[in-house]
A and B are shown apart, each in its own frame.
Chain A
Amino acid sequence: MVDQWARRMLIAFALAFLGLFVGLPILTVFLEAFAHGLGPYFDKLREPETLAAIRLTLVVAAIAVPLNVVFGLSAAWLISKYRFPGKSLVVSVIDLPFSVSPVVAGLIYVLLFGKRGLLGTWLEGHGVSIIFAAPGILLATVFVTFPFVAREVLPLMQDQGSDEEEAALTLGAGGWRIFAQVTLPKVKWGLLYGVILCNARAMGEFGAVSVVSGHIRGQTNTMPLQIEILYNEYDTVGAFALASLLMLLSLATLIAKKAIERRQHP
């Protein structure tokens, strides 16, 4: 009897907690976004500055994610298959973006590439601007997201060892063939999972991007930054319409993640 009571109480608590802290906010986003109906919702999404923010976010993610796939795979391969001095240092550096505050990450780039930064002066002389421009946003995004792919793929590669690769080697296969036909298929689900997480973060990153962006409307605002601006201007429908789009992207990501997990552990 007591057991059952305890169980029911726990379930009720968990559901109430989730509802209050997750369900309600999600509902609010959509309620606010559609407060004036479908027409205004789509009108708000079609505003040029909002469209520019969507475009910039997609472009940044489209560059940052493939970069991190290449980096993550090569880092994981290097760490799991080779012995080299400084290996443990590399492993800790991969985790760095997880432990450094995104704002600090953004500031690092400002200090490096800003007008009075270490490299900024030289770059400016050559007509290249990084801070308060798309390249800065890209750099900050890559920094914040680079652990995701490596962190998903590395444990897989370490667990699986190199037997299959060595088998392929003794059968005469070369490096690239082994990578494409043996290693990649072994880690593909982990890789996809890493890509999904990396993508979600790349699109949703606020702190680091906010520091380097400069908030130039229609030029250097990503979706999260544009949402903040709209909200601060009391354009709730516009803010929540864009927020709902970002939310849909995250939900799609979550669903894709679930589907992959099911595939991995049938």
Chain B
Amino acid sequence: MNLSVRNVTKRFPAKATPAVFDACFTATSGGITTLLGPSGSGKTTLLRVVAGLETADEGQVLFDDRDVTRVPARARGIGLVFQAFALFNHMTVSRNIAYGLEVRGASEKEKRERVLELLELVQLDRYGDRFPRQLSGGERQRVGFARALACRPEILLLDEPFAALDARVRVELREWLTRLHESTRLTTILVTHDQDEALELSAQIVVMDQGRVVQVGTPGEIYDDPKTPFVASFVGTANVLRGRVEGEKVTIGPLSVSAPRGAKEGARVQAIVRPHNVRVAKNDAEHPERSVGTVTRVVGLGSFVKLQLEIPSHDPMTVQLTRTEAESMGLATGDKVIVDLAEARIFFEDYSI
């Protein structure tokens, strides 16, 4: 089922700025769409509007062509998985899973069969008679998934489902979710602030900041072609450098790159470049005036090497090289280097605010 969010705005009383403002996106059938943003960006509020736990002040939520904006949560046919699991602690795992069926008045036989099916799906076959408190965090969240799936929802909503788990379990469950999604092919909305999670799991990412949708695209588009400095620095790591347009060039301290077309003379810009897109070379002793940075730290991380560069009157810059590159150059702390920012993306600073 396709899910469309059209111009949704949600305000909370006693808050000057809306929690969600004019949000639009379409989640295509059968894929995972991720709402990604820092805390307070409105992604959870938007998910709650889709779930029906909050009502949009303006705009519409459509399931295929059906307008569900005013349909209460209990009638939307969605499955919701919570960050803090939200299991019914006084009920067994089986009864937790069967709860939605129980509410619908399903027969004992029907419930038993569906519970067994789901326990198998989430790999908790022998845990049916246990209580949630007897399970680990990862196991509890799998019960949360099973419970949400029990009534065969057409849309699965995941509100930071792995955020309460420790790092190792989180990565395991991420892979588990990929397999689960491959077998169910449910239209899924995932809320997260974890960019790795978003990049790894999603077919589509909706980046949110301060209540607004700032970019919608595939993980590749978001990573390689960020539309704003915020997206560039929030998704993946990036160096943010401030500069100014001077003639055909953008000058960033001792560095310069060619200015984008239509740049106004003197305009302030941000140059954003990912660590692996910075080209560095050791400077030879003959032309010391070409040096723009000094290596202040070299950290080896498996097949990659991270350099910390100091550039006069700028924040330190992070550069990532492959181990082979770094070793062939023989870079060490204190070396003077030449830096090439040809791959930086230039954004004009917006003074209209």
Contacts and interface: CB of A to CB of B under 8 A. Distances in A.
Interface of A: 83, 161, 163-164, 166-174, 177, 181-182, 185-186
B51 interface: yes
A163 B82 contact: yes
A137 B50 CA distance: 52
Interface in B85-124: 85-90, 99-100, 103-104
A169 B88 CA distance: 13
Interface string B159-171: 0000000000000
Contact of A170 (B13, B74, B89): B74
Contacts of B85: 163
Given A167-B80, A174-B74, A182 B103 contact: no
Contact of B74 (A161, A173, A185, A186): A173
A162 to B, nearest CB: 9
Given A170-B80, A171-B147, A174-B74, 15 more contacts: A166-B82, A167-B80, A167-B88, A169-B53, A169-B73, A169-B74, A170-B148, A171-B100, A171-B150, A171-B151, A172-B75, A173-B74, A181-B88, A185-B90, A186-B89
Given A163-B82, A167-B147, A177-B103, A172 B88 contact: no
**Which of B13, B79, B86, B104 has the most chain A CB within a 10 Å cutoff?**
B86
Contacts of B79: 170
Contacts of B151: 171-172
B51 A170 contact: yes
Classify the secondary structure of B's interface with A.
loop
Given A171-B99, A172-B100, A177-B103, A163 B74 contact: no
Which size bracket describes the interface of B in this complex? 20 to 34
A225 B53 CA distance: 53
B84 interface: yes
B104 to A, nearest CB: 6
**Which of A161, A164, A167, A173 has the most chain B CB within a 10 Å cutoff?**
A167
Contacts of A166: 53, 73, 80, 82, 86
A185 B90 CA distance: 7
Given A166-B53, A185-B90, A171 B103 contact: yes
B181 to A, nearest CB: 19
A185 B91 CA distance: 10
Contacts of B89: 186
Contacts of A182: 88
Contact of B86 (A167, A173, A174): A167
Contacts of A164: 86-88
B86 A163 contact: yes
Instruction: Enumerate the 9 nearest inter-chain pairs by beta-carbon distance, A residue then B residue, closest first.
Output: A163-B86, A171-B100, A167-B86, A185-B90, A170-B80, A172-B103, A172-B74, A173-B103, A169-B73
B156 to A, nearest CB: 11
Nearest to A163: B86
Nearest to B83: A163
Contacts of A174: 74
A172 B84 contact: no
Contacts of A185: 88, 90
B82 A83 contact: no
Interface string B167-206: 0000000000000000000000000000000000000000
A171 B73 CA distance: 8
Contacts of B87: 164, 167
B3 interface: no
B78 interface: yes
A168 B80 contact: no
A172 to B, nearest CB: 5
30 contacts: A161-B84, A163-B86, A164-B86, A164-B87, A164-B88, A166-B53, A167-B80, A167-B87, A168-B88, A168-B99, A169-B74, A170-B51, A170-B52, A170-B53, A170-B74, A170-B76, A170-B80, A171-B103, A171-B150, A172-B75, A172-B103, A173-B99, A174-B74, A177-B103, A181-B88, A182-B88, A185-B88, A185-B90, A186-B89, A186-B90
